[in-house]
Structure formats: structure tokens, C-alpha cells
């Protein structure tokens, strides 16, 4: 199973009307991967956008994540079912452990995810914000394969080689969230220079750069123009010198760094 190459992130899109319209518009444009989470409080709106779209459900890859406070075994089972009810769907395509924090216990949490696969609540299991060691541990404990590790990645926080290698080792896709670093990465001079040379947006350059790194980015956007511009990154291939120019950015910044994060 392959996670689609580009997805729609919905973090922060908590206005129900706007969120549903964004999902509908994205699917009309060609997106087939929609990512949300219990934490985002918009699963119902995402489900509504999918239902009101002309795209058949079987063509849409729907991913959500279990809140860190819901990661005790029985809470995983209960809240995943509640997520499904909010979506109005029979099954989700991918269910993630959102963060290995709070109630996360590797053995009991992951056994619940295996049970959800067996019950047909989710087709696949993923993890998010896992280090290489945590990823390998989860892979040992799960019966279901880990199909994705979703991690913050952008030109200020490039995909770490050891994490990319660990993903490859367990057969998981590297899904990159916050690819624009909440807009901060769009103003980096090196990114702007490549964009100007190509006569495309910095957003398109960043998404193409992440794809060159083997990542599957899930940028957030609302409005048809931004959604179309992001989607057009699928048709952009960077030259080696352009990739190297972005690789050479020296500044490093992690936008999402909660207390107790595994890399702390």
C-alpha cells in the first residue's frame, strides 16, 4: 500500500463550512489524500466534504490520528469508533498514533491498533512524531505493518537521514507535515531564489524539494488558488543544483516541540 504522493492537511481548519468546502475543492482539483486528527476537531467537516464531493469514497485516502490523551488501550478502541462516526464512514484508510506522549504505552496502545485493523475500523496503521528507536520498537510490537511515520519536515528542518533510513527499514512512508513551517519557510532567500528562477511559487518549490527527498507532504491550504498551486508541485522536478541550494540552508528550527517530545 502506498500513501498518495501529496495530501491535504487540515490542522487549524476548524470552521466547519470552510473545512468541508476546502475538502470538496481539493478533491475536485485531484487530491486523493486527506489528513486530519481527533485533535483538530474537524473530522465531521472532513467527512462532510468527502460525502458532498463527486469523487467516489473508494478513491479517497482518509487519515486521522488518535489524540495523545486517548492512547490507553480501551480509549483507543472507543475514540477511534467515535472518529468513524464523526466522519460518517465505514472505515478509515490510515489511523495514526498522533504523538508518543501522555497515555502512550507501546504494548497496550499498539495492541489496540492491531485490534482496530482486525475489526475493520482502519485499513492501516501509522505513527507520528516517532524517532527511529520508537519506530523500530513499534514495528516489533505491531502485527500490522506501519505504513507511515508523519513528522514535521521543511527546509528549516530537513528529513533526518537516520529517520528516513528507519522508515525504509520498516517499510513506512515518510509523511511530512508543516511543510511550510506555518509560512516561515516560504520567505527563505534560497527558496525564493529557486522559485524566481523557475517562475513558480516558493510553496511549489518546497513541496517538490520534499518529494525529491522521498517524502509525502501534506500542506495546509484553503481557497482554490492555493490548493491548485500546491497540487501543481506534482509536476515540478528540481535539478540537483536547486535541491543542493535548499539543502545548504544552515538555519534550523522545529515549529512543533511540546513538552516531553521524544527528541527532547
The catalytic residues are: 40
Using CA atoms, how far apart are residues 204 and 234, in angstroms rounded to an integer?
Answer: 9
Using CA atoms, how far apart are residues 71 and 91, in angstroms rounded to an integer?
Answer: 19
> Would you state the cell numbers that stand for residue 170, as one nine-digit string?
520498516
> Would you state the cell numbers that stand for residue 154, as one nine-digit string?
521543511
> Would you state the cell numbers that stand for residue 44, as one nine-digit string?
465531521
Using CA atoms, how far apart are residues 32 and 26, in angstroms rounded to an integer?
Answer: 8
Alpha helices, DSSP H, located in 120-253:
132-141, 161-170, 189-198, 202-212, 224-231, 240-247
Residue 177: helix, strand or coil by DSSP? Answer: strand
Contact in structure between 202 and 186 (CB atoms under 8 Å): yes
Using CA atoms, how far apart are residues 198 and 245, in angstroms rounded to an integer?
Answer: 14
Amino acid at each position: 500500500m502506498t500513501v498518495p504522493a501529496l495530501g491535504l492537511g487540515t490542522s487549524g481548519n476548524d470552521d466547519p463550512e470552510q473545512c468541508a468546502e476546502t475538502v470538496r475543492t481539493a478533491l475536485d482539483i485531484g487530491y486523493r489524500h486527506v489528513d486530519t486528527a481527533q485533535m483538530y476537531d474537524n473530522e465531521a467537516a472532513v467527512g462532510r466534504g468527502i460525502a458532498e464531493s463527486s469523487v467516489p469514497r473508494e478513491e479517497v485516502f482518509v487519515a486521522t490520528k488518535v489524540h495523545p490523551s486517548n492512547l490507553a488501550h480501551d480509549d483507543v478502541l472507543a475514540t477511534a469508533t467515535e472518529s468513524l462516526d464523526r466522519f460518517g464512514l465505514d472505515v478509515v484508510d490510515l489511523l495514526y498514533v498522533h504523538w508518543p506522549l501522555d497515555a502512550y504505552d507501546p504494548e497496550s496502545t499498539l495492541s489496540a491498533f492491531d485490534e482496530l485493523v482486525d475489526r475493520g475500523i482502519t485499513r492501516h496503521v501509522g505513527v507520528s512524531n516517532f524517532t527511529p528507536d520508537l519506530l523500530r520498537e513499534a514495528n516489533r510490537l505491531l502485527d500490522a505493518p506501519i505504513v507511515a511515520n508523519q513528522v514535521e519536515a521543511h527546509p528549516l528542518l530537513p528529513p533526518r537521514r537516520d529517520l528516513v533510513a528507519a522508515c525504509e527499514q520498516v517499510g513506512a512512508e515518510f509523511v511530512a507535515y508543516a511543510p511550510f513551517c506555518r509560512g516561515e519557510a516560504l520567505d527563505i532567500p534560497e527558496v525564493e531564489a529557486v522559485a524566481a528562477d523557475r517562475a513558480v511559487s516558493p510553496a511549489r518549490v518546497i513541496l517538490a524539494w520534499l518529494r525529491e527527498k522521498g517524502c509525502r507532504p501534506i500542506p495546509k491550504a484553503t481557497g482554490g488558488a492555493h490548493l491548485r498551486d500546491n497540487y501543481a508541485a506534482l509536476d515540478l522536478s528540481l535539478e540537483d543544483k536547486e535541491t543542493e541550494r535548499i539543502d545548504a540552508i544552515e538555519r534550523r528550527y522545529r515549529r512543533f516541540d511540546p513538552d516531553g517530545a521524544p527528541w527532547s
